[in-house]
Amino acid sequence: EADIYQTPRYLVIGTGKKITLECSQTMGHDKMYWYQQDPGMELHLIHYSYGVNSTEKGDLSSESTVSRIRTEHFPLTLESARPSHTSQYLCASIPGQLTDTQYFGPGTRLTVL
């Protein structure tokens, strides 16, 4: 069973606030991903990391930033939240090859008022 955690599970905040969504995994996986998903839509890759100190932007442009200082931790930060950031954010990791199973966390449902 995979152990990948996301906090908070739900967050409602006002416009202009700075927020950090946490993602941690205890499996020692090198490759980690952040996806954004709106209801009825596909998962869009917004950031990924293939190891410590390595981060890249995904296909979907995002105003968020990420960091990877430790293997197990891949937080996502929004410096100034806006209503357009309202979405579900999903974190995932894989052990090595893409043909390995990609494990997902439970997600953070973000609402910006």
Partner 1 sequence: DQQVKQNSPSLSVQEGRISILNCDYTNSMFDYFLWYKKYPAEGPTFLISISSIKDKNEDGRFTVFLNKSAKHLSLHIVPSQPGDSAVYFCAASASGAGSYQLTFGKGTKLSVIP
The footprint of partner 1 (CB under 8 A) covers: 4, 6, 9, 31, 33, 35, 40-45, 48, 50, 58-59, 90-92, 94, 97-99, 101-107, 109
Q: Judging by beta carbons within 10 Å of its beta carbon (0-12, 13-18, 19+), is residue 87 exposed, middle or buried?
A: buried
- Minimum distance from CB of 105 to partner 1 (Å)? 5
- Minimum distance from CB of 3 to partner 1 (Å)? 12
Contact (Cβ atoms closer than 8 angstroms) between residue 65 and residue 20: no
* Residue 23 or 78 with smaller CB distance to partner 1: 23
* Residue 51 or 80 with smaller CB distance to partner 1: 51
Question: Which residue(s) pair with 25 in the sheet?
Answer: 4
- Minimum distance from CB of 79 to partner 1 (Å)? 25
Q: Can you spell out the DSSP letters for 6-33?
A: EE-SEEEE-TT--EEEEEEESS--SEEE
- Minimum distance from CB of 92 to partner 1 (Å)? 8
* Residue 20 or 88 with smaller CB distance to partner 1: 88
What are the structure tokens assigned to 111, written together? 């609402």
* Residue 74 or 103 with smaller CB distance to partner 1: 103
Cα dihedral 7→108→19→67 (10° resolution): 70
